[in-house]
Amino acid sequence: MKKYRKVLLIAASVLFVSGLSVSVTAAAMGLPRLIRNGLGGWTPQIIRSVFDSAVHWRRAIWERGWEDDDWPEVKDGTGAVSGLSEEEESGSGTYRFSEVTELDLSALGVLVRIDTGDTGGDILVSVPDDRVHFSHSENESGRLEIILEAEKTLGKILSITAEDSVKVTLPRENKLLKADITALGSDVRADRIPARELRFSSEAGYVEIGRADADTLRLNSESGAILVRQGTVRSLAAEVSVGTIAYTGNIDEDLEARAQLGEIELSVAGEDTDFNYSIESEMGKISVDGDVYTSFDMDKTIDSSGEKTAELSSELGMISLQFYRE
């Protein structure tokens, strides 16, 4: 059943973004010809421009109502739910979940805003519109799974605006052990998610994180865009299939970046000599603080006598690693 659900989610998300999936597929199939014709390193920019166009209209819809904070209040009785152990389908309202240690949230065709607040240690989920289907399950170990789906009628999906956004409020005083956020044809905005391990995935969606403070941050873009405006992490793992990832912030220990057809842009506090490097490139392009590596089938190790490690691998994509002083 879960496999069937995921197939439906991915299929609907492709329709939801903008209908450009055919163009993207065609671009991917034409990569060998483009490279033979001499475009080479320009291929990732072509792919990126396609996806930027695909998510631009949804991003614009979001920003038109971004300041609207008119969310439903938590109610007693039917408006507040606590201690559920079995999956239930819920309508609009605000729901409360207690003693959560792990959060797994998936969004399809939905605008989601995630923030922190004084919630008494609970997680609050505000669903303001019946067009958004809200299902959830919770187990005894404290793992909470939430699925948010817009109605699968395309016209109703396109009519959802920022005023219909789902708001998830996490407790400011508690740090989750793990949070896994997936955007399937959705716009997900997170100001801050307090968790030791954070994972964001985008499949034909757009994810923006204002502040990422975690021991481990994992970013995976299958066919969408992920933007981290300010990160403070011990280790960062970024992987792109046909999409884009942009990260700005601190990395205390380990960096791993892998690009198949997309692009990864990293702006890291410090200097290039803070890291020792392992660089692999098949037919892609890797740039480290202005030094460009584009050789075919390249495998290079750089010992900078640094205390950190960076593993950079590109097949047909592009990785850019730049440094700045705080």
Q: What is the pTM of this model?
A: 0.74
Instruction: Report the candidate in 236, 230, 231 with the shortest Cα–Cα distance to residue 216.
Output: 236
The letter for the amino acid at 2 is K
3-state helix/strand/coil string of the chain: CHHHHHHHHHHHHHHHHCCCHHHHHHHHHCHHHHHHCCCHHHHHHHHHHHHHHHHHHHHHHHHHCCCCCCCCCCCCHHHCCCCCCCCEEECCEEEEECCCCEEEEEEECCEEEEEEECCCCCEEEEECCCCEEEEEEECCCCEEEEEEEECCCHHHHHCCCHHHCEEEEEECCCCEEEEEEEEECCEEEEEECCEEEEEEEEECCEEEEEEEEEEEEEEEECCCEEEEEEEEEEEEEEEECCCEEEEEEEEEEEEEEEECCCEEEEEEECCHHHEEEEEEECCCEEEECCEEECCCCEEEEECCCCCEEEEEEECCCEEEEEEECC
Distance CA 36, CA 225 (A): 28
pLDDT mean by block of 10 residues, the chain; 326 residues: 41 40 35 34 43 44 40 36 46 86 92 92 87 82 90 51 80 91 93 92 94 95 94 97 95 96 95 95 91 82 93 95 92
Say if strands 318-324 and 195-203 run parallel, antiparallel, or are unpaired.
unpaired
What's the pLDDT at 68? Answer: 38
Annotated domain spans of the chain: 77-324
Distance CA 89, CA 295 (A): 53
Q: What is the CATH number of domain 77-324?
A: 2.160.20
Residue corresponding to tokens 């000599």: 273
What's the pLDDT at 41? Answer: 41
The letter for the amino acid at 131 is R
Distance CA 278, CA 298 (A): 10
Residues 266/321, Cβ–Cβ less than 8 Å: yes
Indicate the length of the chain as a whole number: 326
What's the pLDDT at 152? Answer: 59
> Residue 99, Cα to own-chain centre: how many angstroms?
25
What's the pLDDT at 163? Answer: 65
Distance CA 215, CA 195 (A): 8
Residues 10/203, Cβ–Cβ less than 8 Å: yes
Instruction: Report the candidate in 128, 208, 207 with the shortest Cα–Cα distance to residue 161.
Output: 128
